[in-house]
Amino acid sequence: MPAEVRLRPMTAADLPAVAAIEAAGHPTPRATQAFADDLALDHARLWVAARGAEILGFIDYWVVAGEVELIDVAVAPAARRQGLGRRLVEHLRADVPEATAVHLEVRAGNAPAIALYRGLGFVEVGRRRRYYADGEDALLLSWSSASDGGPSAS
């Protein structure tokens, strides 16, 4: 029977697998060092979804002044559409139940991610024109406890 997928804190040993998932998920992936830098930050929290030794996805978010900035979330291509992306974002909200808001930026053309976030109660609050190096716009999405009744509502 295949082992269960568990969420656990990311460690430096996970960085090669995390970087591979990042590279498969983004046209302009973050450098491995960016994850290493976040691991050293007090206000950053990084988790992986792992089945045994295999890393299937990750999430990286910052908790600042009662609000959360979702820096990055990605799932390995072969593990997508199985609920892992949703589980990782729901984990964020359960991990920081006191958060009054969660903010993120997403490429305007990233339909899978936008559908994931909308399904979890995020709404569009702005757009940054030509935000990414290749000229694509960023959408600013936010989830607010005031409009969603809290993390347990999802």
Ligand X SMILES: CC(C)(COP(=O)(O)OP(=O)(O)OC[C@H]1O[C@@H](n2cnc3c(N)ncnc32)[C@H](O)[C@@H]1OP(=O)(O)O)[C@@H](O)C(=O)NCCC(=O)NCCS
Residue 106 touching ligand X (CB under 6 A)? yes
HEC sequence for 63-80:
EECCEEEEEEEEECHHHC
For ligand X, the binding residue among 9, 119, 149, 150 (CB under 6 A) is: 119
Task: Confirm whether 61 is a catalytic residue.
Answer: no
How far, in Å, CA of 105 to CA of 113, rounded? 10
Alpha-carbon Rg for the chain in angstroms? 15
Closest distance of CB 78 from ligand X, Å: 10
For ligand X, the binding residue among 12, 31, 115, 153 (CB under 6 A) is: 115
Q: Which is nearer to ligand X, 99 or 106 (CB)?
A: 106
Q: Given the rule CB under 6 A, which of 3-11, 36-44, 69-77, 142-150 is the region that contacts ligand X?
A: 69-77
Closest by Cα among 131, 9, 112, 17 to 61:
9
Residue 11 touching ligand X (CB under 6 A)? no
How far, in Å, CA of 84 to CA of 79, rounded? 8
Q: In the chain, which ranges are continuous DSSP H helix? A: 15-25, 32-39, 84-95, 111-119, 145-148
Binding mask 29-68 for ligand X (x = CB under 6 A): ----------------------------------------
Helix (H) or strand (E) holding 31: none
Residue of 4, 61, 90, 105 with catalytic role: 105
Task: Confirm whether 117 is a catalytic residue.
Answer: yes
Q: Which amino acid is at 57?
A: G
Closest distance of CB 109 from ligand X, Å: 10
* Interface ranges with ligand X (CB under 6 A): 25-26, 73-75, 80-86, 104, 106, 110-113, 115-116, 119
User: Which residues are known to be catalytic?
Assistant: 105, 117
